[in-house]
Amino acid sequence: MIMTKIVCSRYNEQVYWLIPMINNIIVYNRGINDDLHYIPKDNIITCRGVKSNYEVYIKHIIDTYDNLDDYTIFIHGNPEVHIFPESKGESYNTIWKTLVQNKDYKFKFISIQFTPEFVNDSVMFVVSKEQILKSSKESWIEILNDIQQYELDNNGLEKMWNQLSDN
């Protein structure tokens, strides 16, 4: 069975919509609002010093590098704005389908308005373990250090997205 994990980078959003997927989620809580009583404590990682979704995504890769699921879906706490802004239900349905569908790809954007040429901190995607492991853990640590040290903007992060989406 293919295992898929949802990694949610949350600031202060309500993430009740994750409840149907509760067995497959990790919530990285960057915000000050800790009202996440509906999420099991083992599924929450507090990371208040983390500034961006990118940092959360890479932190998860580094922290689970030796124990990654077959696929990881990287999303943030308010995904509907970037999937189907006119329909919350359709947005959540897209995430659910991505979780349960057979995956015959190594990388796919979920955020419909983003491509490898145009990315920003709201990008959401699903990526295979195989694709992540093409880069060493040390490479991921270096990318995270660069983001934190140089406060890279969206264009500076193309290096990361291109290495993930490169088939």
Phi and psi dihedrals of 47, rounded to 5?
Answer: -145, 70
Q: Which domain holds residue 124?
A: 4-165
Specify which residues 28 forms β-bridges with.
Answer: 9, 45
Cβ within 8 Å of residue 70, ≥6 positions away: 2, 3, 4, 103, 128, 129
> Which pLDDT tens digit goes with each residue over 64-77?
999 999 999 998 88
Total number of domains constituting the chain: 1
User: Residue 85, by phi and psi: left (phi above 0), alpha (psi -120 to 50) or beta?
Assistant: alpha
The answer to whether 68 and 132 have CB atoms below 8 angstroms apart is yes
pTM of this structure: 0.85
In this predicted structure, the answer to whether residue 32 has a pLDDT above a threshold of 60 is: yes
For the stretch 106-141, pLDDT in tens is 888 776 655 555 555 457 888 999 999 999 999 999
* pLDDT exceeds cutoff 90 at 98: no
Query: How confident is residue 60, by pLDDT bands cut at 50, 70 and 90?
Result: very high
Output the CA torsion 146→51→18→69 (10° steps).
20
Q: Which residue, chain included where needed, has tokens 């149907």?
A: 20
Q: Among candidates 124, 97, 126, which has minimal Cα distance to 111?
A: 124
Q: Average pLDDT of the chain?
A: 82
106 and 128 in contact (C-beta within 8 Å)?
A: yes
